[in-house]
Amino acid sequence: MKKKILEVQDDRDSQLMSVEDIQDWLASQIAEQLGVESDEIDIRVPFDSYGLDSVQTMSIANQGKQYYGLQLSPLVIWNYPNIESLSRYLAEKLKASEREVLEL
């Protein structure tokens, strides 16, 4: 059985998020955790370069779940190791989820 990496809750507006929206959101979340301005975050730099610990990473994942209905597996960070690649992946998953809802 395939493990779900991303789930989208129907009562959220996350389907409307573009790649750029997700990039901006992730950059602002990392910046907040590090105590810097979001424009100091490079979307192409690997997540591990920022020195985020597991608590900070989980905090970002929890914010994504709370505000956008995104439930991320920690494995997704290993497969998509920077903001640019992760945001593209999430945008595709959201688009696919939206198509599935429309097909129902």
Lowest mean pLDDT among 15-24, 43-52, 67-76: 67-76
Pairwise pLDDT comparison (69 vs 37), residue with the higher score: 37
> Long-range pairs for 74-80 at CB < 8 Å and ≥24 separation?
75/5, 76/5, 76/6, 77/47
Residue 21 included in any domain? yes
What pLDDT does residue 5 have? 42
Q: What is the pLDDT of residue 54?
A: 81
Distance CA 58, CA 56 (A): 5
Domain that holds residue 64: 14-103
> Does residue 39 form part of some domain?
yes
E-only strand ranges, 1-104: none
Flag whether 6 is in a domain.
no
CATH number, position 33: 1.10.1200.10
Tokens of 30: 């990392």
Structural domain contains residue 29? yes
In a domain, 1, yes or no: no
Q: Which pTM value belongs to this model?
A: 0.75
The total of structural domains in the chain comes to 1
